[in-house]
Amino acid sequence: MSLSRRNFFRNLGAGAIAGAAAPALRAFPLSPALEHALWGNSASAAWPEGVATAADPVLLYRNENPYGPSERVVAAMRESAAGGNRYPRTEYDTLVDKLAALHRVKREQIVLGCGSGEILCMAAMSFLKPGKKLVEAAPTFPALGKLAQTASIEVADVPL
């Protein structure tokens, strides 16, 4: 898989669509096979009604928040959902400019993605080429190792 502007924006768009659909999809429990494919050796969790409640355990390895989104976040999501059919070019540029100013760096030094996994994979594809080896802890978040294997890069797991 080559890193190009076209592939980057295609993946960014797919990630944005998945991110927008994620709240609606949370109500559907994953099959054990899909759970294993996504999370590797992590224990699967099946909620009785398919939706986590305050009484259910918080799965920190999935970055779950025990408190849920704040009312301000929920209001911002509702407000922005109306423009979900539009490409967020203006908001993207504004965010990059604000981050660059906050951290006193050039805007070209800012990389945004749909979560840390996407940015980690972009960085890996910049450095990992066939003939190189990825060394990762096991168990770990499996996205990077699966991406490397797909690109014919050797993956060495080091047990924790």
Query: For residue range 15-68, what is the model confidence (pLDDT) as tens digits?
Result: 666 555 555 555 555 566 666 655 554 444 444 455 556 667 777 767 777 888
Q: Across the strands, what pairs with 159?
A: 138
Winning range, highest mean pLDDT, from 33-42, 68-77, 101-110: 101-110
Among residues 107, 133, 147, the alpha carbon closest in space to that of 3 is found at 147
Domain membership flag for residue 122: yes
Domain membership flag for residue 6: yes
pLDDT-derived band at 11 (thresholds 50, 70, 90) equals low
Domain range spanning residue 145?
Answer: 115-160
Domain membership flag for residue 88: no
- Give tens-digit pLDDT for 131-154: 889 999 888 888 888 889 888 899
CB 31 within 8 A of CB 39: no
Domain membership flag for residue 91: no
6 and 62 co-located in one domain: yes
Domain membership flag for residue 52: yes
Q: Which of 12, 45, 68 corresponds to the end of one domain?
A: 68
Domain membership flag for residue 11: yes
Q: What is the pLDDT of residue 130?
A: 81
User: Stretch 90-107: mean pLDDT, rounded?
Assistant: 92
CB 148 within 8 A of CB 157: no
Domain membership flag for residue 96: no
Query: What's the rounded Cα separation, in Å, for the pair 138 and 123?
Result: 20
> In this predicted model, which residue has the larger pLDDT, 89 or 54?
89
* pLDDT score of 107 more than 90: yes
Q: What is the pLDDT of residue 102?
A: 97
Mean of the per-residue pLDDT values for the chain?
77
CB contact set of 77 (below 8 Å; sequence gap of 6+):
69
Domain membership flag for residue 89: no
Q: Kindly state the percentage of the chain with pLDDT values over 90.
A: 19
User: Stretch 73-92: mean pLDDT, rounded?
Assistant: 83
1 and 64 co-located in one domain: yes
Q: What is the pTM of this model?
A: 0.45
Q: In total, how many domains does the chain have?
A: 2
Query: What's the rounded Cα separation, in Å, for the pair 52 and 58?
Result: 9
* pLDDT score of 118 more than 50: yes
Identify the DSSP state of 153.
-
